[in-house]
Chains A and B, each alone.
Chain A
Amino acid sequence: MGKKRFWLSCLTMVLLLSMLSACSGSKESGQEKNKDQSSGDSKEKVTFTYFNAATGRDKNTNETRIGKIFEDQTGVNFKMEHLVGDENTKVGTFIASNNYPDVIVPGGSIDKLLGAGAFIPLNDLIDKYGPNIKRVYEPYYNLMKAEDGNIYFLPLSAVVGDYISAPDIEQGAFWIQRRVLKEAGYPKIKTFDEYLNLIRDYVKKHADENLTGYLALTTQDKFFSFTNAPMHLAGYPNDGGVIIDMKTHVANDYADDDYTKRYLQELNKLNAEGLFDKSSFVDNYDQYLAKVASGKVLGFFDYKWQVGQSMANLREAARKSGNDDLEYLALPIVYDANIKDQYLDPPSFVNNRGVGISVSAKDPVRIIKFFDNLLTDENQILSNWGIKGETYMVDDKGRFYRTAEQVAETSSESFRETFGFKYFEYSWPRYGSGSSLPDGNSVGASRQPEVAQMSYSEGDKKLLEAYGAKSFSGLFSDPDDRPWYPAWSIQIEQGSPAQIFTQKKGDLQRKYFPKMVLAAPSEFEGLWQEYVKEFNKLDVKGYEDLITKEVAKKIAIVQGKK
């Protein structure tokens, strides 16, 4: 009896210990492994893991044409995993287990990874193994360094060579359906009033068609699409929740300014006239996309990358039917005729997104060499343009272009996946958007004027001719120089008063903005006063001061470098 009990308790202990050690054992092994294994120039085949916090299809890089070529050059293959579900949850799991993929491209959760010490410092590795990385990123080193002076990740926006602006609108704008402009005889419009009146006139003439005059996107984390519009109308680019004075560089939260009030009041009027879609405030993202794609909506404000899916559908339908009336045109609408529009992003360096190597990485040297190899001119051409003669051509002056067939082929989603454009254009160390090659060609194919021209339809050309522009972004003013841009990329500490302020502000606006827009026009003023009172109870001053300070810091870094 006594013997039995003894054995049993032994067994229990063993079980307990093995479970405990299984929980805690993995911590150290990762860091130790990478010390003794700094392989030199070996081209031996190796596979690393790569996590990208964007949705996409999981694949090995060597299963794509481009990735295969990179594997032949370096022997390195990546097993790519993409995000399913919520980014913060996924990253939280990584942190909790202290077991990371070798390479991580996080989105907004990068702070959490940095806070948890998930990335290894890259400074020494770049010095030793990364001549190309140094060439591309060195001008931005000061913006990339963490407080301890280390570089933990490579941002994706380092511009190389002369800056080439995008021919198409990639950011925010007031969109209007082409049939509205067509019927009005392609008028040149600039102010918000003109824009709304155009919509009013069209709906009046087509009263029986069940049209929606104006739509807004407000769902969950996309609420900024709604609150950002007044900032653009006032003539500022997307700095997030604040506008920065051009001369004094002081940050101002415009949520209680006349800019915001005027926007809400105009929408309130529209609503009273039955031209505003009330469901804007309850629809989810899918319902919103479906409404835009239906072609019943005449106008709305949004960022291209949020509504691009619906626009692509409309474009495809227009291509098939040869009638582009339901497609949208982006316009730089402002409040008053004397305001200069600033919808286009100034050349900027986003320093809170990027790609880093984790502490679990088995062989950081091979990875950094792979990164370095990506950043040669030849490989950037390969990632963006593809293979000469197959996905692009070169004319006798050395200009890159694509034939109509190549444009069609390279814009097909399935081709982009198998060829690898979808994976390598972005999300790896790269020449930032707007970069150019020494010979003047654009690095990004879509920014090459020849390619943009080739992709315009007959309708596009007619429209551009009517407005006397060469490209769609030609309708917009050139961006002014803003060394701090974008202010939204300023990192706000987790759980700090400033972060709690932004959360509370969001809650307040979500509650009051719909009320104000949907109220009877006579009640608007009262609601606005109530909102401003509530708003001023929050710590606006503290938040503005913080942003002002950070903006000054960023300007100092950027200009100190020049």
Chain B
Amino acid sequence: MKQKVLVFMSIPFLIWLFIFKYLPLWGWTIAFQDFKPAQSLLKQEWVGLKHFKFLFQDEHFLQVMRNTLAMSFINLVLGFVTAITLAILLNELRKVMFKRTVQTISYLPHFISWVVAASIISNALATDGGIVNELLMWLGIIKEPILWLGEGKYFWGILGLSEVWKNVGWNTIIYLAAMTSIDPAQYEAAEIDGANRFQRIRNITLPGLKPVIIILLIMNIGNLLESGFEPQYLLGNGMNVDYSENLDIFVLKYGIQMGNFSLSIAAGMFKTVVSFILLFSANHIAKRLGEDRLF
């Protein structure tokens, strides 16, 4: 009973967890009812799987799922690659002033709200005087301004780049922190052995980062159905709706805006179950491969 004090100290947090994370699960029953607000959960009308049926039988649902997964996947891959690359580049910099400046500039967009960011993006992509079209025309790559947000096929790309622009600096922070824990003696030894920069990156920095990368990857795979809501909602329009509408927007339109909270809960449950499966599979695979894992 050496840990008695520690156990006691954790009790308030367990209570907190129970009240705020487990008690609300009771609300999942709403998914099986036609929920009317301001009445007790017990007085609601039970409708069985009606809302799940609506969700899965809607002809748009497959498209919405495809968009959600595709955008998530793009964000995941682009997010990892760009953040790790930038972190490694920053780590190689010796001029502290320059490094700090680059870092600050790159993570500032993270603090802009998506509402403002979407405005900036759609202004940059405008056909009359938008910087992207002007630049491409000046370079002679295109002759006519392109209606970037009006073509569905460009949407995923635009979204991916916007996410990178907004979050790359912020995402590097954790990798930079991980790099500081790598023993400098390793670099020195490698240098004495005649390893050049790229060899040092490949053989020391990247392996040093591996545990962080894998843990983050497992956690992010669990969130694969969360492709974000604001950028898609703010940049989406009728012309790119086939590519921009994701699960969250679908739920907003047919659930929350119509006061159909039951449908929203049903979709939320679906997301939770899928996330749960994905998280456990990713963790299991990591275990099988003998890598670090979440639990």
A positions within 8 Å CB-CB of B: 8, 12, 15-16, 19, 88, 92, 95-96, 98, 111-112, 115-118, 218-219, 223, 278-279, 281-284, 286-287, 494-495, 499-500, 503, 507, 509-511, 513-515, 518
Are B260's CB and A281's CB within 8 A? no
Q: Does B253 reach chain A (CB closer than 8 Å)?
A: yes
Are B150's CB and A282's CB within 8 A? yes
CB distance from A92 to the nearest CB of B (A): 8
Are B239's CB and A287's CB within 8 A? no
CB distance from B145 to the nearest CB of A (A): 9
CB distance from B31 to the nearest CB of A (A): 14
CB distance from B153 to the nearest CB of A (A): 14
Are A12's CB and B15's CB within 8 A? yes
Query: How does the 8 Å CB contact mask read for B4-15 relative to A, with 1 for contact and 0 for none?
Result: 000010011001
Chain B count of residues within 8 A CB distance of the other chain? 33
Are A282's CB and B122's CB within 8 A? yes
Are A278's CB and B150's CB within 8 A? yes
Are B8's CB and A499's CB within 8 A? no
Per a CB cutoff under 8 Å, which of B118, B239, B259 touches A281? B239
Task: Check A112/B259 contact, CB under 8 A, given A98-B38, A278-B150, A284-B122.
Answer: yes
Which chain B residues lie closer than 8 Å to A12 at the CB level? 11, 15
> CA of A494 to CA of B36 in the docked complex: distance in angstroms?
10
Per a CB cutoff under 8 Å, which of B36, B147, B237, B253 touches A219? B237
Are A286's CB and B238's CB within 8 A? no
Are B258's CB and A494's CB within 8 A? yes
Most buried by A among B19, B122, B126, B238: B238
Q: Does B282 reach chain A (CB closer than 8 Å)?
A: no
Which chain A residues lie closer than 8 Å to B237 at the CB level? 218-219, 281-282, 510, 514
7 contacts across the A-B interface (CB closer than 8 A) = A278-B147, A282-B237, A283-B126, A495-B263, A499-B258, A511-B239, A511-B242
Considering only CB atoms, which chain B residue lies closest to A518 in the complex?
B150
Which chain B residues lie closer than 8 Å to A503 at the CB level? 253-254, 257-258
Which chain B residues lie closer than 8 Å to A223 at the CB level? 238
Q: Does B149 reach chain A (CB closer than 8 Å)?
A: yes
Which chain B residues lie closer than 8 Å to A510 at the CB level? 237-238, 241
Are B239's CB and A282's CB within 8 A? yes
> CA of A510 to CA of B60 in the docked complex: distance in angstroms?
15
Are A116's CB and B38's CB within 8 A? yes
Which chain B residues lie closer than 8 Å to A518 at the CB level? 150
Are B239's CB and A116's CB within 8 A? no
> CA of A287 to CA of B128 in the docked complex: distance in angstroms?
11
B positions within 8 Å CB-CB of A: 8, 11-12, 15, 19, 36-38, 60, 118-119, 122-123, 126-128, 147, 149-150, 234, 237-239, 241-242, 253-254, 256-260, 263
Specify the main secondary structure of chain A where it touches its partner.
Answer: helix
Are A8's CB and B8's CB within 8 A? yes
Are A19's CB and B8's CB within 8 A? no
Considering only CB atoms, which chain A residue lies closest to B238 in the complex?
A510
Considering only CB atoms, which chain B residue lies closest to A109 in the complex?
B259
CB distance from B199 to the nearest CB of A (A): 48
> CA of A105 to CA of B122 in the docked complex: distance in angstroms?
34
> CA of A515 to CA of B147 in the docked complex: distance in angstroms?
13
Query: How many Cβ-Cβ contacts under 8 Å join chain A to chain B?
Result: 91
Which chain A residues lie closer than 8 Å to B19 at the CB level? 16, 19
Are A287's CB and B259's CB within 8 A? no
> CA of A92 to CA of B38 in the docked complex: distance in angstroms?
10
Are B239's CB and A95's CB within 8 A? no
Considering only CB atoms, which chain B residue lies closest to A89 in the complex?
B256
Are A88's CB and B8's CB within 8 A? no
Are A284's CB and B119's CB within 8 A? yes
Are A500's CB and B254's CB within 8 A? yes
Are A282's CB and B260's CB within 8 A? no
Which chain B residues lie closer than 8 Å to A279 at the CB level? 126-128, 147
Are A287's CB and B126's CB within 8 A? yes
Are A218's CB and B238's CB within 8 A? yes
CB distance from B125 to the nearest CB of A (A): 8
Per a CB cutoff under 8 Å, which of B12, B37, B126 touches A112? B37
> CA of A8 to CA of B9 in the docked complex: distance in angstroms?
11
> CA of A19 to CA of B12 in the docked complex: distance in angstroms?
12
Which chain B residues lie closer than 8 Å to A284 at the CB level? 118-119, 122, 234
Task: Check A16/B239 contact, CB under 8 A, given A112-B259, A115-B37, A117-B38.
Answer: no
Are A515's CB and B239's CB within 8 A? yes
Which chain A residues lie closer than 8 Å to B259 at the CB level? 111-112, 115, 494-495
Per a CB cutoff under 8 Å, which of A19, A283, A494 touches B260? A494
> CA of A380 to CA of B87 in the docked complex: distance in angstroms?
67
Are A286's CB and B36's CB within 8 A? no
> CA of A264 to CA of B11 in the docked complex: distance in angstroms?
66
> CA of A511 to CA of B243 in the docked complex: distance in angstroms?
11
CB distance from A492 to the nearest CB of B (A): 10
Are A281's CB and B150's CB within 8 A? yes
Per a CB cutoff under 8 Å, which of B11, B123, B256 touches A8? B11
Which chain B residues lie closer than 8 Å to A494 at the CB level? 258-260
CB distance from A84 to the nearest CB of B (A): 13
Considering only CB atoms, which chain A residue lies closest to B241 in the complex?
A511
